[in-house]
Amino acid sequence: MKILVGNWKSNGNRKDKQKLLSALKKVKTNTKIILCLPFTLLYGDKTKVSIGAQDISLYPNGAYTGDISGEMLKDAGVKYVIVGHSERRKYHHETNEIVKHKANIAIQNGITPIVCIGESESDHKNGKTKSVIKKMLTESIPDNGGFIVAYEPRWAIGTGITPTKSEVESIHNMIFDVLKGLNRARTPILYGGSIKASNVKKFIDIPHVDGLMAGRASLKPETFLPIIKNMN
Ligand code: PGA
């Protein structure tokens, strides 16, 4: 089963969520849909799509003002959490070590981490993608338990620019080989970065592309539903 993650980032209100969830109710698909919402929208829905968060605290419940702990996410019914998104790495200075720690905390709370990795534009231009990705991957994944990897080149996020099919194929093969070497060959590997309905077919049949992650296009039924349709 292919996976489609919608990452709402810091967007959306209750009305937007209701609109998308009711549109999704009518959709027939074999794709597993995970909607990663802002904290303010996590509670209170009976829906067949899986709900995910976009961050998890490094700390347990306690005196950590502003933090949302793994226990709280679990209580809210969250099944997935994005860790190490490039925007968290950039604006909140999250290192591989922090990302790994957050992934471990998610697993301790029965939540599957979606571990994001991706090279910068200059790494890409200088032919360093594979070495950068390998290091990010091995240093960011949890010690035990199931997880998902999302490969999202930083230069492809929100830019409308995507890598070529052969670039994605070669990086996903490498990610698979690394995971296999760690006895974690069954980990789903997603591609993300400027996904829209018209480029789904380009990526979805590549070997070791187990699904996609969409940001902007996941916010509205008009752009999200055609992606789901093209994944079948
Ligand atoms: P985008 O974002 O689809 O808007 O490029 C993807 C992401 O950051 O997950």
* pLDDT at residue 45 in the model: 77
- CA–CA dist 199, 187 (Å, integer): 23
Q: To test the ligand 1 pocket, which listed residue (80, 115, 195, 203) has its Cβ within 8 A of the most ligand atoms?
A: 195
Instruction: Write down how long the chain is.
Output: 232
* pLDDT at residue 200 in the model: 98
- CA–CA dist 98, 77 (Å, integer): 24
* pLDDT at residue 136 in the model: 98
* pLDDT at residue 47 in the model: 85
163 CB near ligand 1 (under 6 Å): no
The pLDDT averaged over each successive group of 10 residues in the chain (232 residues) is 98 97 95 97 87 98 98 96 98 98 98 98 97 98 98 98 97 98 98 98 97 98 98 90
223 CB near ligand 1 (under 6 Å): no
- CA–CA dist 154, 29 (Å, integer): 29
* pLDDT at residue 131 in the model: 97
- Give me 173's structure tokens: 């093969």
194 CB near ligand 1 (under 6 Å): yes
Q: Check the CA dihedral 219-222-223-225 and report its sign.
A: positive
- CA–CA dist 217, 225 (Å, integer): 9
Domains of the chain: 3-231 (3.20.20.70)
* pLDDT at residue 138 in the model: 98
Q: Check the CA dihedral 16-74-6-37 and report its sign.
A: positive
User: In this structure, what DSSP letter does residue 40 have?
Assistant: G
pTM of the model: 0.98
* pLDDT at residue 162 in the model: 97
Protein residue whose Cα sits closest to atom 3 of ligand 1? 215
**H/E segment holding residue 5:** strand 3-7
